[in-house]
Amino acid sequence: MTDQLDREFTIITIGALVESVYELADRGMPALIGHDFTRPIGWTSVHSLLFEPGLTRALSETLLPETTDELNAVNTRLARFIHGVALKSQSEEIEELKVLLKDHLRGNELSMSMDGAVLVEPGLAKRVFPSLFDGSAVDDDGLTYLEKLEAVGPGVYKIGKLLLYAHPLLRRSSHRLNTLNTPFLSALQELSGDNVCKRVRLDPDSVGLASAHKMRMEKSLWAHGAPFSDEIPAISDGVRRLVSTETELHFSQVSLTECFWYTRQGFHNFEAEELRDVPGFDEPGQPISYKCRYVHSMVPQDTSSPSHFDGAIRSYSEEEMIARLGTDLMRAERQTRYTKLWRVDGQINIADWKRLFADYFRDNAHVGEYLSGATNPAKHPSSEVSEHKNIVTVPYSFAGDSGPRLRLTFMDKLDIQSEVFLVPSQSWVVGDRIHPLLEVNALDFAKALRREAFEVELPRDCYLFGSKDQYVTYPIVALRDATGSSIQRCLEALTKLVRSRLEKQSEFVVTCGIRFPLGERDAVISLGGPANDTLRTLEKHMLDIQPSVEGLRIWAESVGAWLRKQGWNQGHPDYSEILGPDGSFKFERSNIPRDAIVFSQDERGLKYKLRFDALSQDVQDAIRSERIVPAVHYVYQEVDCTRCGGSYADCDCCKWLDADCNSSIKRIEYVGAHWTDLPL
């Protein structure tokens, strides 16, 4: 999800993204094949919003099961998710609906819809609205005339306080948990023309509450196919079979699609049917059946405009499906279980005809392939392979015109005892113990926070490390209590520190952030980028954050609008390089293999020698062109303060905030080296 205009011409505002991510951060959402609730494949955790120049996007992580137990856990979680959305979250609306329908219920009603408060019971809609299922409102096939219905959404029809729905066979896997085929039903309802008559089959068992109706948004695009001759009489008769690739079969469950033109009694006739690989959903007690979408159209020989178009479902048993796969549409047996779902009569524009055809066969790429008259280009990916702009792994470069990045993350609460806590993002194993690890910059941050009258806690048994490069990490500062005032004071300390450091060290890249309680969770706001750009962001957009979902929505809208107006580079990095699991931005330094670098020490200090034969040619070329150099990293053992003479780790002096202060390294342990493009 992003805040950009998508190919379906919709925009999700940044404020809506904030609210969605906050809502989903705790429960997550099912990962489904083709938005089909009968086909779960894992679980998606939506946890962050990433703000970049010109783009705000939601970040998610999907976990896929590898064992039977894990798959069972996914199915259990899916059942809880459905219960929460379909029942628990709208229990009051369901009770209201039961009151309205009390004279028509038989005691077997269920609420199993994701479209709002809906009750399902055999024949319920027929009992509530008998006139819409017989008499003048329907044709001989049981289809209801659309002119008799008030549509409040694609396939959703309002009568007083209640709703009727299009037939469940117009949903994926014919299951009511899935969305209606909204692209097709929209096209059907919008269709106009000379004497056009439109009909649709209604769901005889479902009735909804109008005031609780929800329209679910799906981002699902498939090949519609544009170039197709409007001269239908020029199309030769015969059957064309389009067979699925292994990938297409996995996602669409359609083995093949057949398109058949023939001429009879003054009409060009068209039929198309998809043959499915797996059975569809059937009500308990019903035999398993393969439900295949089918269309039929008629075009008078003296015109290119169809005068009739209808769609249906043909149902096959397993034996019948096997037999059907061995016979083309011209010769196939016509005596199948057949349910007509929609029909259009009148002069139909050929562009509308193509749209109805493509949208009815939703998720089927064969239709686009057929209408284009060529092989689907999606089957032949470009041979060009995008390459990362960095030849070797160094921290992603925020330098130059890249601008800042911001990140908003919702996480489980952190239990801290002091007012503020500096959160370690790494650890170091010494012997048989694991120690939290902070960059030495944490000491300066702690001093700046104490000057804002905070009680600051660092992790116990913490090790401090440093790197000879210009990538500066200030740890995430976690607040025990969240108020607008405490957030502002923390960020003021950070702002002063970055500003003072810029006065003494003109160029560096920085990451930093703040974490505070928000309801049942913590909110983490982190920043990363060139120091000048980060300072501008801190001063302009970080000092008035209010600790509420509404406050964060307002803040996020403001930040997104500001970033859109700047002239920064809108390139997007590999996010795995820069995003930490704790809601932070990170600098992923790449260690130099120990057999490729040799250290020695004399009276002048530490020296190193590189063994070029142990390095790849790309690395050698990058070194020769001075794009990268080795940078030593080390752990501090003892550091003194030149101002007070005490331990720099324990005193109140700060080399960035005080003019006459510096740190003096007495004892350090070198632990290796890494490549950098910004040496100190």
pLDDT of amino acid 398: 67
- Residue 385, pLDDT > 50, answer no
Q: How many CB atoms lie within 10 A of CB 118?
A: 27
- Which of 321 and 387 is assigned the larger pLDDT? 321
Inform me whether the pLDDT recorded for 601 exceeds 90.
Answer: no
Is a pLDDT exceeding 70 seen at residue 597? yes
**In the predicted structure, residue 630 carries a pLDDT above the cut 70:** yes
Collapsed DSSP state (helix, strand, coil) of residue 190 = helix
Query: Which amino acid makes up residue 235?
Result: I
Over residues 3-20, mean pLDDT: 80
Confidence of residue 305 (pLDDT cuts 50, 70, 90): confident
290: pLDDT strictly greater than 50? yes
pLDDT score for 301:
86
pLDDT of 314 reads 94
pLDDT for the residue numbered 134: 85
Q: Compute the average pLDDT of residues 604-616.
A: 85
Task: Grade residue 555 by pLDDT with cuts at 50, 70 and 90.
Answer: very high
- State CA 378 to chain mean position distance: 22
CA distance 110 to 78: 18
pLDDT of residue 387: 38
Please tell me the distance from the alpha carbon of residue 392 to that of residue 133, in angstroms, as a whole number.
Answer: 68
Residues with Cβ < 8 Å from 314, sequence gap 6 or more?
273, 291, 292, 294, 336, 337, 338
Query: Cα–Cα distance between 428 and 438 in angstroms, integer?
Result: 10
**What is the percentage of the chain residues whose pLDDT exceeds 90?**
50
User: If DSSP states are collapsed to H, E and C, what string results for 628-659?
Assistant: CEEEEEEEEEEEEECCCCCECCCCCCCCCCCC
Q: Give the helix/strand (H/E) hosting 267.
A: strand 267-276
Tell me how far apart the alpha carbons of residues 655 and 141 are, in angstroms, rounded to a whole number.
Answer: 85
Mean pLDDT of 520-544: 91
The Cβ-side half-sphere exposure at 224, using a 13 Å CA radius, reads 16
What stretch of H or E contains 69?
helix 68-86
Cα atoms found within 13 Å of the Cα of residue 547, Cβ hemisphere only: 21
Written as one letter, the residue type at 363 is: D
Work out the pLDDT band at 670, boundaries 50, 70, 90: confident
The pLDDT of residue 228 is 58
Strand order in the sheet with 663-676: 426-430, 433-439, 463-467, 629-641, 663-676
Question: What distance in Å separates the CA atoms of residue 90 and residue 84, rounded to the nearest whole number?
Answer: 9
Q: What is the largest CA-CA distance in the chain?
A: 105
Other Cβ atoms closer than 10 A to 294:
23
User: Would you list the domain boundaries of the chain?
Assistant: 14-86, 90-185+195-212, 232-375, 405-676
Residue pair 474/519 in contact (Cβ under 8 Å)? The answer is: no
Q: What is the pLDDT of residue 570?
A: 66
**What is the pLDDT averaged over residues 88-114?**
90
Give the model's pLDDT for residue 25: 85
Q: Is the pLDDT of residue 367 over 60?
A: yes
At 140 the pLDDT is 92
Beta bridge partner(s), residue 433: 430
Q: Is the pLDDT assigned to residue 440 strictly greater than 70?
A: yes
In the predicted structure, residue 311 carries a pLDDT above the cut 90: yes
Mean pLDDT, the chain, rounded, equals 87
Q: Residue 510 has what pLDDT?
A: 92
Q: Edge-to-edge strands of the sheet including 197-200?
A: 144-145, 197-200, 337-345, 308-316, 290-300, 267-276, 254-264, 238-243
Band (pLDDT 50/70/90 cuts) for residue 402 is: confident
pLDDT of residue 407: 95
Render pLDDT for 218-265 as a digit per residue (tens, 0 to 9): 766 554 444 455 666 667 789 999 999 998 888 889 999 999 999 998
What average pLDDT does the segment 368-386 reach?
51
Residue for token pair 């983490």: 524
pLDDT band at 420 (very low <50, low <70, confident <90, very high): very high
Overall pTM > 0.85:
no
Write out pLDDT tens, residues 450-473. 999 999 998 888 888 888 888 999
For 78-95, b where at least 16 C-beta lie within 10 A, e where not — what string? beebbeebbeeebeebbe
**Residue count (the chain):** 680
Instruction: Give the model's pLDDT for residue 382.
Output: 37
Q: Label residue 488 by pLDDT band (50, 70, 90).
A: very high
Q: Is the predicted pLDDT of residue 389 greater than 50, yes or no?
A: no
- Model confidence at 390: pLDDT above 50: no
Residue 478: pLDDT band with limits 50, 70, 90: very high
Asked if residue 48 lies in contact with residue 56, where contact means CB atoms within 8 angstroms, the answer is no
Signed CA dihedral, 316, 319, 322, 326: sign only: negative
Q: Is the pLDDT of residue 210 over 60?
A: yes
Given this model, what pLDDT does residue 384 score? Answer: 37
Summarize the confidence of residues 280-309 as an average pLDDT.
Answer: 87
pLDDT at 24: 86
Neighbours of 673 (CB within 10 A): 25
Q: What is the pLDDT of residues 147-194, one digit of tens each?
A: 999 999 999 999 999 999 999 999 999 999 999 999 999 999 999 877
What distance in Å separates the CA atoms of residue 466 and residue 232, rounded to the nearest whole number?
73
In percent, the amount of the chain with pLDDT more than 70 equals: 92
Please answer whether residues 229 and 372 qualify as being in contact, where contact means their C-beta atoms are separated by less than 8 angstroms. no
Q: How far is CA 638 from CA 118, 459, 465, 472, 648, in A?
A: 69, 18, 12, 20, 9
